[in-house]
Every structure is written in structure tokens, then in C-alpha cells.
Amino acid sequence: MELIKGGITAPQGFKASGISAGIKKNGKKDVAIVCSEVLCKATSVYTINKFKAAPLIVTGENLANKRASAIVINSGVANACMGAQGLEDAKQMALITGEVLNINELDVVVASTGVIGVPLPMKNVKNGIIEAAKIVAKDGNIDAAEAIMTTDSVMKELAYTVRIGNCDVKIGAMAKGSGMIHPNMATMLGFITTDANIEENCLDGILKEAVKASFNMISVDGDTSTNDMVVIMANGMANNEEINTNSENLDAFKNAITHVCTELAKLIAKDGEGATKLLEVEVIGALSLEDARLGAKSICSSNLVKTAMFGEDANWGRIVTALGYSGAEIDPLKVDVYLGNLLMAKAGTGLAFDEDKALEVLKEKDVKVKVDLNLGTYSAKSWGCDLSYEYVRINGEYRS
Amino acid sequence: MELIKGGITAPQGFKASGISAGIKKNGKKDVAIVCSEVLCKATSVYTINKFKAAPLIVTGENLANKRASAIVINSGVANACMGAQGLEDAKQMALITGEVLNINELDVVVASTGVIGVPLPMKNVKNGIIEAAKIVAKDGNIDAAEAIMTTDSVMKELAYTVRIGNCDVKIGAMAKGSGMIHPNMATMLGFITTDANIEENCLDGILKEAVKASFNMISVDGDTSTNDMVVIMANGMANNEEINTNSENLDAFKNAITHVCTELAKLIAKDGEGATKLLEVEVIGALSLEDARLGAKSICSSNLVKTAMFGEDANWGRIVTALGYSGAEIDPLKVDVYLGNLLMAKAGTGLAFDEDKALEVLKEKDVKVKVDLNLGTYSAKSWGCDLSYEYVRINGEYRS
């Protein structure tokens, strides 16, 4: 598995574009299109938030047959909580995209991100889609990745090549996400393309598992969005022998997709609103995978852990506190806590530790916490960021 | 029911004191004692955090017989995550208190609050308890309430008198809590005294219900502490006819205790670390009480709702988002959202609203949000505070 350039359009047969359609007040890019030369197997995972935004509902219907050719995305307005008008607008986005790309509107994935409860300016959206569709290109990946950003400070894309049988299969991806990040079942916007030839239900299973281990294991602020969506499209143009649940290549491809999702998730956590550090929490020695995930995510999501990281304060008591209310099965008298490689608490009891060494760990941009439950063999990692003054500033002023 | 002066010592037969024993580095008061002239019925509710601090374990054992005569509390050090030494120290606190007050050590409630994972300075604690015991007095309520503070900016006490049959029964209370506030099953430190004559299991049931509707419905930062504890002591000196589950006076007393707990909880939410506003969220029209509570608490706990309140931004989309991931049963197309009396969204759909009027509501010190699920008849209130720069500063520097 090798990192390559090209982002979302790295796999064969994919093109993209991103333009400014005037949906964002600041004139930045806000409409993106990703499309494949041929019809793809496609599947998706959505937010568990009961206020699912309109584009998720339309995409859910369009992906019922597990086929798609293109994705249209706007940023600036989330098209959430807009009732019947919202659904109509999301369908219009698919319809217009289908028309200008000359594909079936039901093969279009629709996604939106931005302010909730505001109507889409459909004139801008329509003109934007027409313009974006005209210029889709192999090198449109960066424009597309930029056009889906909201409070993101960096655009997020990556691509890998992975050997599947005799073929080099490519995987491309882009994502947006910086705030309202506490995904559950799906997250933010994540788009993955691949030229792999793969059976659709197998693709679906791989995506669902990968999302659980990656996007669902990050948290910026504990808020699960209405618009979270991860989509994967596989166009088969790599001509590998079809991957299915019995393939000997299944694991290689599954691991590659999980890796791509994990790296995207980490990019999102690191770019958390106002973040100055990436926090990685690993829980080992758990009785079950679920326990390990609950514990790791709870620690990563704790405002008190996050502010301690921002303040570079080795307050490990907050780590065990967050573990204690996580719901994970633990024995308080067996828990070991490490900050970096530094043992802070052994068997649930605080140790005298070297404050200077702890500060060294905390001064890093990537801070690692490890907790050993000493109960079983399961482990999980979670990623988050610190909670800074800047987070408060950004979110006190978001709509204005 | 009438508000009276006197705090925790307002009921007949209770005395208190609070002194500085040098546990806190800044020299502020850090040891408090509350005691009754006669043995009390007593019961308690504890944190669900699995890392229960040592004093909670000792108190749990001592209250197994539902009797207590005194409470000893230290602030500055939480005596949590200190293993066998922590348990020994908590037992010592009860032992010393029993000796100096000339009561059975098993009739002493022990509580601690402060930094986790640091040993109690037992020499200071011992001398502090001896000194505090010498000066317990009827007017020691304010000293006691001050001695249990940590990051609290105001001391929290109140007292009421309530008519039970032919008697005036008094209820006194004090609490501490400002950060690590997201109680579940119990919360922070809350102490309630009463001279009511009441059957012990009835007292226990009343406390548990009251805690669910009050302390468990507030959140400052989503973090459930290791040291949360609410204790009630009833010494019977009001000489009312014993209250039991069949009494006609049961509801009057129950409502009074619930009111006291709710008012204490609101004091804590309002004094949330860095808070500039008290946020009250009411969910009505729910299918069950549990749904109403889940929804209200989720909205009150959302970092994004809290930062919008701090920024005085009428971003109601964050309110429905937090409702949507709360787990409460909702129909997104039936939800109405009010900011103060201003209708922001009707049937799940955003309305054009008057930004100036919204800003008027948001500029208040007490901001009220109401959400009507339009599904059933249950309702619940939750209280929280905004999330400010000051919260980040306080918690970035807590140990130092």
C-alpha cells in the first residue's frame, strides 16, 4: 500500500471540479462534482441524528440500488430542517447534475454542509452545478476538496495504491469536517473513490466496518451532525478479479479502505475547530472491542481532558474520570494510565511522576494517551483534539 | 413553602463549621463539619462513575444502616484513585471525626472534592477536623459552605420552611460544584439537612427521585465526576407525625425536597466554570418522561449550543441537532423550537425570525429555550451554562 498523489480523482475513470457559486458569502468555492466515466457500485453510511438533512434522504433513495455515477456537493448551507422545500431542493440538485452530466438523476449522490435551517439559494446552486459540470477534469481533485470546506482550515484529500491480485488498485478520498464532529454510524462528509472491481454488498460491509473503526472514533466537540455522510464509489476500471466476501484479496482491500478512512478521520480530528494538538487515545486490555471503543472515545471526547491538553497539564485524573463514566467494563483497581510512554497511574492508583517528562509529552503536536484495562485482549484507538479559546471564538460567531 | 436564612444549619439541632487546614495551597477554608444533636435517618446517592472515590465507598458502608450523625468534608484533594491508602485515609477521617464529636465513627459521612490522584495530607486533615469540631455552631453554615468550594465562584446554600401537618419543618442545604458537572445518579457534593421526622426508606425514595429531576438534569461540561455525592440527614426534631409512603404529607415534603435540590442544581449550573449565563431548556410534548429528560439534557450539554449562547448567536439549528442525537423519540417534522417566546422553527422547519428580538432574549442572564415535540404529554427541564473563553482558561490551568 503506497501513498500517491491525485486525491479523489486518483483512481482510473474519475474526474472532479470545484467552483464558487456564491452560496458562501465570502466568495470561496462552494459547489463540487465528482463523477466516474462508468456506472459504479456505491454505498453510503449516514448520521444517526434523527434530523437527517434532506440530501441524506435523497441520497439514501438514490443509492437503494447500490449504483451511482456522480456526487454533487455544496457547502455554505446544510439544507437541513427545511421541510418539504429542502427535499425538493436536494432532488433538484440531483436532477440538474444528471442533466448536465447526461446521466440518470437517480445515479447522483447529493451532499450539503453548512448552516442549518436556511434555504439553499437554488439559483446559485443551479448555475454552480452547470458550471462545475462543464469543467470536471482529472486534475480537479484539489478544487473539489476545497469546495466542500466550511470551517476547515486545510483541505483534506489523500490517495493510495494497493496491490489486489495482479492489479494495482487505486483508492482516492476527500473529506470535510472541523466542528460538530462526534460521528456515530457516519460522519461529516467523506467521499471515497476506487477503480477496484468489487461486489456491492461486500463493498457495503467493508465501508460500514471501516467507518466504525475510523470516523466513529473521532470527536471534536461531542456534537453529532445532521449532515454526516460517507460515500464510496467503485467503478471497476482496475480490472482486478472481482472482490467478494470469499476473495483471498478481501482483507487487503478491506485494510486499505480502513486505512484510508482512519487517515481521513485523523485529518479531521487534527483540524478540529481551534485545535492546536491531535490527541490519540488507545485503550488496550479490554474485555470486548465495544468496551475498548467506548473507553477510548469517552476519554477523547471529554472537555476536561481536552482543556488539560490545551493547557499542557498532566491532569491524568480526568482521563480515568472519563473512562469511569464511559460505560466500558472496567475494574478501577486494574487500570494503568500512560501519557506517551510515561506511567502515570498503576492499578488505578496515582504514581509520583516526573512533571518535566510529562510536559515534554504534552508539548508535542501529537499527544498519545494509553490506558491498559488489564482485563482482556481487545483494543481500540480514538482521535480528538484539544479545546482552545479559538474553539469558543469560532463557535460563538459561526452564523455571523 | 418559604425561603429562610440559615443554610445547612437552619433545621433544629444542626450545627456546622468550616476552617482552613492548609490542604488548599491558597490558604482558603478546606475542612467542613456538619453535625446533628441526635442521630439522623440518612441516605445518599452517588456518582455512576466506576472510579468511585474512596470517601464514597466509606460513606456507602457507613450509611448501610441509614443512620448518621455528622458529615466531614474536605476540599482541595478529591482522595480519588489513591488505592488502599485512599480508603484508609477516608476511614481515618470518619474515625477522627467520631472521636472528637464523641459519636460512633460509623455514623460519619465522609466527602472529598478537589484534584484526583493526589494523596490527602493527613496531618493537615487530622488537625483540621479537630479544630473544626471544636467550633461547630448554629451560625457555622456560611463557613461550612465556603469550606467545600473548589472552582466555585460563589458559595451555595439555601433553606426553606415547609408546613407538614401541624408542624413547621425546616430544610437546609449546601452544595459545591462548578466544573466536571454532568451528574448521573448523583452529583458534585450536595448536603441536605432537615428536622423532619420521616421513615428512612421513604426518605431514600424521595432523595433518589429528587436527584433525577434536579442534579441529574444539569450539565456544565459533560464530565461525570468520581466524587459526586448527595446526602440527606433528617433528625426528626420538628416532631411532626412520621412521614412515610402512606402519609398525606408525603407529597408536600417530597415537593419541598425536590424544590431544594432543583434550586441547588440551578445554582451550580449558573456558577459553571467560566459561565456568563444560565441556560434553561424545557422539552414538552414528549412521549415519556425519559424522552423529555434525554432531549432537554442533550441540548443543555451541547458544546455548540453553549458556545452559541456565549456568542449570543440565535443558531437554533444546533438545538435541533442536539435533540436529534439525544436518543429521545422524536418526529423531526413535528418539532417546534422557541428561543424565549420567539418561535424559531415550526414542524421541524426554520422560520424567518426577527434577529433583534432573538438578540434581546440572548442578552439576558437567564436564557430559556423551549422545544415542543408535539407527540405526547411529558415534559422536563434541564439547566446548563454557556461555554466561554474563561472555561478554557480555568481548565487549562487547573492543577497549576
How far, rounded to the nearest angstrom, does the alpha carbon of residue A346 sit from its chain's CA centroid?
34
B400 annotated to a ligand binding site: yes
pLDDT digits (tens, 9 = 90+) for B83-126: 899 999 999 999 999 999 999 999 999 999 988 888 999 999 99
Can you give the pLDDT at residue A183?
Answer: 47
The interface pTM score, or ipTM, of the predicted complex is 0.71
B176 annotated to a ligand binding site: yes
Q: In the structure, what pLDDT confidence band is assigned to residue A185 with cuts at 50, 70 and 90? A: very low
CB–CB of B205/A284 below 8 Å? no
Partner residue facing B392 (CB), from A184, A318, A387 = A387
Q: In the structure, what pLDDT confidence band is assigned to residue B49 with cuts at 50, 70 and 90? A: confident
Question: Within the 161-200 window of chain B, which residues sit less than 8 Å (CB to CB) from chain A?
Answer: 179-180, 182, 184
CATH number of A278-396: 3.10.20.340
Phi, psi of A201 (to 5 degrees): -70, -30
Work out the percent of chain B whose per-residue pLDDT is above 70.
Answer: 95
Can you give the pLDDT at residue B285?
Answer: 97
What b-and-e string marks burial along A239-272, b requiring 16 or more CB atoms within 10 Å of the CB?
ebeebeeebebbebbbebbbbbbbbbbbbbbbbb
Q: Report the CATH architecture of A2-270.
A: 4-Layer Sandwich (3.60)
Q: B88-95: which pairs have CB atoms within 8 A and are 24 or more residues apart?
A: B89/B54, B89/B119, B89/B120, B89/B122, B89/B125, B90/B54, B90/B55, B90/B57, B90/B58, B91/B58, B92/B122, B92/B125, B92/B126, B93/B55, B93/B58, B93/B125, B93/B129, B94/B58, B94/B62
Q: Residue A26: CB partners within 8 Å, gap ≥ 6?
A: none
Residues A60-64: what's their mean pLDDT?
A: 95
Residues B57-69: what's their mean pLDDT?
A: 94
Å from A333 to nearest chain B CA?
7
Q: Is the pLDDT of residue A181 over 80?
A: no
Partner residue facing B345 (CB), from A117, A226, A392 = A117
Q: In the structure, what pLDDT confidence band is assigned to residue A292 with cuts at 50, 70 and 90? A: very high
> pLDDT averaged over chain B?
89
Q: Which of A226, A25, A85, A148 is nearest to B318 (CA)?
A: A226
Partner residue facing A389 (CB), from B48, B332, B392 = B392
Phi, psi of B309 (to 5 degrees): -65, -45
Can you give the pLDDT at residue B343?
Answer: 95
Q: In the structure, what pLDDT confidence band is assigned to residue B187 with cuts at 50, 70 and 90? A: very low
How far is the C-alpha of B276 from the C-alpha of A12, rounded, in Å? 55
Catalytic residue IDs of B: 187
Known active-site residue A9: no
In terms of average pLDDT, the best of A193-197, A387-391, B172-176, B225-229 is: A193-197
pLDDT digits (tens, 9 = 90+) for A74-116: 999 989 888 899 999 999 999 999 999 999 999 999 999 988 8
Domain residue extents for chain A: 2-270, 278-396
pLDDT digits (tens, 9 = 90+) for B304-344: 898 888 888 888 888 988 898 888 999 988 999 999 999 99
End-to-end Cα distance, chain A:
44
- Per CB-CB distance under 8 Å, the chain B contacts of A78 are 317
- Per CB-CB distance under 8 Å, the chain A contacts of B307 are 391-392, 394-396
How far is the C-alpha of A37 from the C-alpha of A235, rounded, in Å? 8
**Strand partners for A281:** A369, A382
Can you give the pLDDT at residue A398?
Answer: 60
Query: A222 and B222: CB-CB below 8 Å?
Result: yes
DSSP-derived 3-state class of residue B26: coil
Can you give the pLDDT at residue B159?
Answer: 93
Query: A348 and B398: CB-CB below 8 Å?
Result: no
Å from A385 to nearest chain B CA?
13
CB–CB of B290/B382 below 8 Å? no
> Does the structural domain B2-268 have CATH classification 3.60.70.12?
yes
Residues A307-329: what's their mean pLDDT?
A: 88
**Cα Rg for chain B, rounded, in angstroms?**
21
In terms of average pLDDT, the best of A88-92, A169-173, A382-386, B75-79 is: A88-92
Residues A159-177: what's their mean pLDDT?
A: 90
Partner residue facing A118 (CB), from B118, B330, B350 = B350
Residues B369-380: what's their mean pLDDT?
A: 96
Can you give the pLDDT at residue A170?
Answer: 94
Phi, psi of A353 (to 5 degrees): -135, 165
Residue B345 sits at the chain A interface (C-beta within 8 Å)? yes
Task: Give, in order, the Cα–Cα distances in Å from A186 to each of A198, A213, B33, B94, B387.
Answer: 22, 11, 51, 50, 26
A187 annotated to a ligand binding site: yes
Can you give the pLDDT at residue B222?
Answer: 64
pLDDT digits (tens, 9 = 90+) for A19-49: 999 999 899 999 999 999 999 999 988 877 7
Strand extents, DSSP E, chain B: 2-4, 14-19, 31-46, 67-77, 108-115, 156-164, 167-176, 189-194, 218-219, 229-234, 278-286, 336-339, 342-346, 349-350, 366-372, 378-385
Q: In the structure, what pLDDT confidence band is assigned to residue A220 with cuts at 50, 70 and 90? A: low
437517480: which residue's cell? A106
Phi, psi of B281 (to 5 degrees): -115, 125
How far is the C-alpha of B334 from the C-alpha of B149, rounded, in Å? 44
Residue A397 sits at the chain B interface (C-beta within 8 Å)? yes
Q: Is the pLDDT of residue A227 over 80?
A: no
CB–CB of B344/B316 below 8 Å? yes
Q: Is the pLDDT of residue A148 over 60?
A: yes
Burial, B221: exposed, middle or buried (Cβ in 10 Å; 0-12, 13-18, 19+)?
A: buried
pLDDT digits (tens, 9 = 90+) for B133-177: 999 999 999 999 999 998 888 898 999 999 998 899 999 999 888
